[in-house]
Amino acid sequence: MAQAFSPQADAEIEAILQRYPNRLAALIPTLWVAQREFGWLAEETMELVATRLDLPPAKVISTATFYTMFHKKPVGRYHVQVCKNISCYLRGSDEVTAAVKQKLGVAPGQTTADGNFTLEEVECLAACGRAPVVQVNADYHEWQTAESVVALLDRLAAGDTSGGV
């Protein structure tokens, strides 16, 4: 069955279109809505966005593929992004990544078999003063260590999102 936006998502896109001066300016916020709705941006999803905004599919695809924040393949329930840039690196991001790899049994770019966690190494998350930084979905976890990141993963695996995801 072809993808379709839920009535709520469609209303949100309509509100976005009212806020922006033209349809192209509404593209990135609409891609956010689409990613939240479908979990990632399949080609079919990008075509749906193109149709909804009446933009050329190539424009939508080139925009979505330019930004790393848009997922071009499925990610786990928790998208664990470890910053590997200079401030985080100097303060031990390698150990944080190694701890996540060992804990989850996946390499960067991979998702655990249960579909819960995807690990990724990313460039600067713009919170360098609180390095090393790990972003899980939309939430930042700062001043991470090998021990604290494992505790974070344990908490999330147990379904405890009270401290953010």
Residues of the shown chain interacting with ligand FES in the complex, contacts defined by CB under 6 A: 83, 85-88, 124-128, 131, 133
CB of 138 to ligand FES, least distance (A): 15
**Minimum CB distance to ligand FES smaller for 58 or for 90:** 90
Q: Which is nearer to ligand FES, 63 or 87 (CB)?
A: 87
C-alpha to C-alpha distance for 164 and 141, rounded to whole angstroms: 9
For residue 134, the minimal CB distance to ligand FES (Å) is 10
Check if the beta carbon of residue 78 is closer than 8 Å to that of residue 131. no
CA distance 41 to 35: 6
- Among 159, 64, 76, 163, which Cα is nearest to 118's? 76
CB 121 within 8 A of CB 82: yes
Closest CA to 48 of 87, 101, 1, 105: 1
Q: Which is nearer to ligand FES, 4 or 143 (CB)?
A: 143
Residue closer to ligand FES, measured from CB, 52 or 141: 141
Smallest gap from Cβ 88 to ligand FES, in A, equals 3
* Least distance (Å) between residue 149 CB and ligand FES: 14
